[in-house]
């Protein structure tokens, strides 16, 4: 009987206290993993916006340098952006979670100008609009 009394007098966490502590730790880790995933999606989205902007600027510059018309095409089925013409054939792959609107058959004249248009990039719950102006292929944010 003395052994039983000594055994119960040892201080330690109970099973319920341990379960509560573990559930709090798991909750904190779960919140952190959701935030990490959202951060990764934001990084992919921002990178794609920069790639699209750079590709459009390059197409405008190629048309000025070569003196030929350049065509920029976005394929929503195969998720790529392509520059055609002026001895240039560039392909930029786009993440499948991102959609680009108003970028079909975007043509640059031989002097680097085109009609103004607003390109909208959406994906992962983010949206970005870029207004393309005819001044040397510069893209401005809205």
pLDDT of 22: 92
* Residue 72 in this model has a pLDDT that exceeds 70: yes
> What's the residue count for the chain?
142
Q: Both ends of the chain: CA-CA distance in Å? A: 80
* Residue 139 in this model has a pLDDT that exceeds 70: no
pLDDT of 138: 56
Decide which of 30 and 4 is more confident: 30
- In the chain, what are the domains? 16-141 (3.55.40.10)
Mean pLDDT computed over 76-80: 91
Q: What is the pLDDT of residues 41-62, one digit of tens each?
A: 999 999 999 999 888 888 888 8
* DSSP codes joined into one string, 27-66: HHHHHHHHHHHHHHHHHHHHHHHHHHHHHHHHHHHHHHHH
């Amino acid at each position: 009987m003395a052994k039983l009394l000594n055994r119960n007098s040892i201080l330690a966490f109970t099973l319920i206290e341990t379960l509560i502590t573990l559930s709090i730790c798991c909750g904190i880790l779960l919140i952190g993993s959701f935030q990490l995933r959202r951060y990764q999606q934001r990084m992919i989205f921002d990178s794609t916006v920069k790639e699209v902007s750079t590709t459009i600027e390059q197409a405008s510059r190629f048309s000025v340098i070569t003196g030929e018309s350049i065509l920029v095409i976005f394929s929503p089925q195969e998720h790529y952006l392509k520059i055609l013409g002026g001895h240039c054939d560039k392909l930029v792959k786009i993440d499948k979670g991102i959609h680009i609107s108003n970028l079909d058959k975007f043509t640059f004249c031989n002097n680097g100008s085109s009609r103004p248009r607003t390109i909208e990039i959406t994906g992962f719950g983010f949206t970005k609009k870029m207004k393309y102006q005819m001044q040397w292929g510069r893209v401005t944010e809205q």
